[in-house]
């Protein structure tokens, strides 16, 4: 990301940011430019990744949603078991399907009139 100044000088902003990411940021938060919490000597007390994970854990609050470093858990889908419908349930399902069809037909008719 190179930028020209008003005098025509070219400044590489990405290199400037990368060079100074461990320097204390201006302000009263006690962090460096990356966002790590630092002490008075500039030593990292709490890295930015840990801060983000702590905030996320507080927000979500469940153990399943907590970030685990270096591990990706597989979620296994349970197979869907279809049960046979009784005759009465089949009749109700057909009625619902017919009602949905009628509602969609009416909506489409109204949309064409507009």
- Going from N- to C-terminal start, the domains of the chain cover 2-60, 80-114
Round to whole Å and give the CA distance between 26 and 67.
30
Token digits of residue 53: 């994970």
What SS3 class is residue 112?
Answer: helix
Report in angstroms the alpha-carbon separations of 77 from 34, 63, 83, 106. 39, 19, 18, 38
Query: 36 Cβ partners below 8 Å, 6+ apart?
Result: 22, 44, 45, 46, 47, 48, 51
Reported pTM: 0.43
Q: What is the pLDDT of residue 74?
A: 57
- Tens of pLDDT along the chain (114 residues)? 788 889 999 999 889 888 998 899 888 889 998 899 999 998 999 999 999 988 888 888 766 665 565 555 555 666 666 677 788 877 887 888 888 878 888 888 765 555
pLDDT of 98: 83
């Amino acid at each position: 990301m190179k930028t020209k100044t008003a005098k025509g000088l070219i400044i590489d902003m990405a290199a400037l940011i990368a060079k100074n990411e461990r320097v204390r940021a201006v302000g009263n938060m006690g962090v460096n430019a990356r966002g790590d919490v630092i002490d008075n000597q500039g030593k990292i007390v709490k890295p930015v990744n840990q801060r983000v994970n702590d905030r996320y854990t507080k927000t979500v609050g469940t153990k399943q949603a907590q970030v685990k470093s270096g591990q990706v858990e597989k979620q296994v889908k349970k197979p869907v078991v279809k049960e046979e419908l009784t005759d009465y349930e089949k009749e109700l399902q057909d009625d619902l399907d017919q009602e949905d069809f009628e509602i969609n037909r009416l909506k489409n008719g109204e949309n064409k009139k507009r």
